[in-house]
Chain A
Amino acid sequence: MANLKAIRVRLSSVKSTRQITSAMKMVAAAKLRKSQDAIVQLRPFAAKLDEILTGLNSALRDAETENIYAARKQTSGKVLIVVVTSNKGLCGAFNANVVREARRLMAEKYPEQVRRGDLSFITVGKKGNDLLKRMKCNILEEHSELWSALTFEKSALLADRLIGLYLSKEYDTVEIVYNQFKNAAVQRLTTEQYLPVTVAEEGTVDAVVTDYIYEPDQVSIVGELIPKSLRIQLYKALLDSFAAEHGARMTAMHQATDNATELIRELTLQYNKARQASITNQLLEVVSGAEALNG
């Protein structure tokens, strides 16, 4: 028979754990709502920028223009992978998934570069950084400080750094691995080629082409808009990952709370049974004692 006191101690510890997990769940839910708002805020900006850029691209399609961000002849063959994880744990398989995907890329897509030591990582998020470091991967930079207060300006700095690394020909390919936010319960692991820019083959050019005045001129506007849209793309990936992290944590903590509740139910049952048994025992002793006296 389990010891009454032991069960009581265990019960109170599980109860306080449940309190913590359910509080974390609430916090994650509140943060999720905020980060979702940020994504919604970004959408009109990104959509408009895209629209203008596609319009310009189709206008410029005939004119042969040099696109320094598009694919070029390989020079160094070096690959840079940006791994976006979170700074904090307790969010299920969120971080492990990203790292596993990064490992898969290393093993399947870039085994050549790995052998030559031409594959590096830039990490955003302490968790991914720690995991990759433990695997002795080549980490170029860590930008976990981005998460403390994510703003467009800060993420733009990182984007400019990536663009710089590409333009200076230090790296030939830049990929981003992150969790895309689908909804609160679902994160989709995504690997995106960041650079070189893949030009979308637009099938249907929208019918209404307005006759714009361009200032200064189309080519330089495009030249200016591509880095801008790259900055937006990175920011979007970061925001997505941020929202996905809170979604994952909310789900994980919800599950933990449920498990704790179940455990508490079982322990309470056990406790009551044990208590009942000990009362019965004590009664039996009293009764048999009285019997013996009456003898």
Chain B
Amino acid sequence: MKIEIITPDSNVWSGEIRSVTVPGRKGSFQVLKDHAPIISTLDAGTVTVADEQGSVQHFEITGGLIEVKRNRIILLADGVRQS
């Protein structure tokens, strides 16, 4: 499963991952392999990415949008602070 985290200023992060947890508008949710296609707006909060080795990374976003489609995730963040 591939993810791209993009802001208007830069490509923040991209790579193969096992799971990602995002702060959705209707509550935080996690995306795993073969998730159904979804488009959701995101609130300000923490995006947690777990890569295939299981190591975890956190990104603070100020809001955004996520699209999941056929194991391709695109996360359009308004602004990102890596923490």
Contact = CB atoms under 8 A, between A and B. Distances in A.
Bound together: yes
A17 interface: no
Nearest to B64: A228
Interface in A129-182: 151-153, 156
Contacts of A48: 6, 67, 74, 76
Contact of B65 (A42, A152, A225): A225
B6 A213 contact: no
Interface residues of B, number: 23
A49 B9 contact: no
A156 B62 CA distance: 13
B3 to A, nearest CB: 13
Contact of A52 (B8, B67, B78): B67
A228 B67 CA distance: 15
Contacts of B76: 45, 48-49
A38 B25 contact: no
Q: Size range of the interface on A?
A: 20 to 34
Nearest to B24: A215
Contacts of B37: 210-213
Interface in B1-22: 4, 6-11
B9 A221 contact: no
Instruction: Classify the interface of chain A: helix, strand, loop or mixed.
Output: helix
Interface string B49-77: 00000000000000001010100001010
A38 B9 contact: yes
Contacts of A224: 41
A216 interface: yes
B11 A44 contact: yes
A204 interface: no
A99 interface: no
B39 A153 contact: no
A41 B69 contact: no
Given A46-B8, A153-B79, A216-B41, 18 more contacts: A41-B9, A44-B6, A45-B76, A48-B6, A48-B74, A52-B67, A151-B9, A152-B79, A156-B78, A212-B67, A213-B38, A214-B39, A215-B38, A221-B41, A221-B65, A225-B65, A228-B65, A232-B8
5 contacts: A45-B76, A48-B67, A215-B25, A215-B38, A235-B8
